[in-house]
Structure 1
Amino acid sequence: MKVKICGITDLDTARIAVKHGADALGFVFTHSKREISPDAAREIIKQLPEEVDKVGVFVNETVERVKEIVEISGINMVQLHGDETPSDCSSFGVPVIKSFSIGSVEDLINVQEYATDFVLFDSPRGQYHGGNGKLFDWRLLENIENIGNKLILAGGLTVENVGEAIRTVQPHMVDVSSGVESDGKKDHEKIKKFIEKAKNAN
């Protein structure tokens, strides 16, 4: 099971996540309490192992600006968390994750239109487009077809529920941000335990 730790803002947390087996780290380049500048992300990314995916999270950003941040920061994957169309997702030159907020089965109707490398299913939007720490009903994903190893599960995952989530949904990857925080900051012990639980879930 692959694990992505999202909302990285400092090198120590990035190194802890990698040390304990994180496969991907997320850097948020949009309005969020976890927002980071491209220059600050670059300083972290250049000190990380090559095999770890560095994912930039964007919301309704222009293609030109996304490409610019890819160049500046060194991210090697783009996660689109807004209202991007299928054509918006085909212009970046790096792998793309398209995020979908799932509150009902109707929210899954348009997923097949997106020929992205991965699709991420998250809880319905709150104050921010992601990272709100809310669960959604995983049973809504039971009948989705032709996703296979493209599915990334997010939304309210914690040390306590990630094992059940993996066994229920069988995703390619799980993605966590607020679920490994204490008082709004990344908690290194929670990161360690979350990765352990996810890796041993099956």
Structure 2
Amino acid sequence: SMHGSDTRQTAARRPRINSAMAIQIYSMTSVLDAVATAEAGADLIGLVIAEPGVVAEAIGTDLARKILSAVRPRSRGVALSLSDDRDEICAMVDAVRPDVLHVVAREIEPEDCAWIRERIAPVMLLRAIAVRAGETLTEADAHQDCLDYLMLDSGAKGPPYAGATGETHDWSVSRTVVERSRIPVILAGGLSADNVADAIAAVKPWGVDSFTHTDVPGHRGKKDPARVRAFVAAAQRAFGQI
């Protein structure tokens, strides 16, 4: 195995696509929010690790470690890097020790993903790609061998990375990616308690992600516990029906 001779590690890196669904919630900026989100039933807790002020939800490595120790083992931690520098990204992983690294920078190519994934093992690698007409299938195909999870998000209109727009995209494209993908696909982009059931029925993803629509309105990165609970409940019900 390219991931070394330890068979347990290799097995741990092969997520079961047909296992229980995954519900991922971004983006925690306090231990309190994270614990409430884990208790609501979120499987994956998202953190954005960046210099304060880069984005509203950015937190530092110390707070990230505190949050992760507070939510484990109930939930797994996903740490997002906005960096396009491979060494910088890996240094963040070493400092935070999340369960999953989430990369979004467009400059990161599939070969960079392969390099990073090898370097951070057994931490898993999630890549977000934007759903854009004509490009998405090619891009998803190109990442099949270098990721543990693929995330489909709505294309960003403002910041130079995929996602966090709070808007949905063409779910029929996402459905095709899910049907073709050998790795688990997480659907993101404008999902809320109101539309997540329709999204799950239409796309049949392995997981779903919520950021904007589980925030306190107007307070990016501050979670609304009632909205989080409603999202998790709606997603769990819908996953039970596919």
* TM-score in terms of structure 1 length: 0.93
Matches within 5 A, 1:10-159: 10-30=30-50, 31-83=54-106, 84-90=108-114, 91=116, 92-93=120-121, 94-114=123-143, 115=145, 116-128=147-159, 129=161, 130-144=163-177, 145-147=179-181, 150-159=184-193
Stretch deviating more after TM superposition (109-118 or 138-147): 138-147
* Amino acid corresponding to residue 98 of structure 2 in structure 1: I
**Residues 1:149 and 1:193: Cα distance change in structure 2 (over 3 Å):** farther
Q: Distance in 2 between matches of 1:58 and 1:72?
A: 12
Listed one character per residue, the Cα deviations across residues 42-96 of structure 1 (whole Å, up to 9, x for unaligned) are: 1211222225221111224322222222222231211111111111112232211
Instruction: Please tell me whether the aligned partners of residues 128 and 153 of structure 2 are also in contact (alpha carbons under 8 angstroms).
Output: yes
What is the DSSP-based 3-state SS (H/G/I as helix, E as strand, rest coil) of the residue aligned with 1:68? helix
Q: Distance in 1 between matches of 2:156 and 2:55?
A: 13
The Cα shift of 1:97 comes to 0.7
Matches within 5 A, 1:187-198: 187-198=224-235
Quote the residue 2:202 is aligned against. 168
Listed one character per residue, the Cα deviations across residues 136-172 of structure 1 (whole Å, up to 9, x for unaligned) are: 0101234334315511000000111001000110111
**1:6 counterpart = 2:26:** yes
* TM-score in terms of structure 2 length: 0.78
Query: Displaced runs of 4+ in structure 1, greater than 4 A?
Result: none
**Residues 1:48 and 1:143: Cα distance change in structure 2 (over 3 Å):** closer
Q: Distance in 1 between matches of 2:95 and 2:79?
A: 11
**Residues 1:194 and 1:142: Cα distance change in structure 2 (over 3 Å):** closer
What are the ranges of 5 or more consecutive residues in structure 2 without an aligned counterpart? 1-20
What is the DSSP-based 3-state SS (H/G/I as helix, E as strand, rest coil) of the residue aligned with 1:27? strand
Q: Distance in 1 between matches of 2:174 and 2:24?
A: 20
Aligned residues: 202
**Residues 1:51 and 1:88: Cα distance change in structure 2 (over 3 Å):** farther
Alpha-carbon RMSD: 1.6
What is the DSSP-based 3-state SS (H/G/I as helix, E as strand, rest coil) of the residue aligned with 1:105? coil
Structure exhibiting the larger radius of gyration computed from Cα positions: 2
Query: Structure 1 vs Structure 2: percent identity of aligned residues?
Result: 25
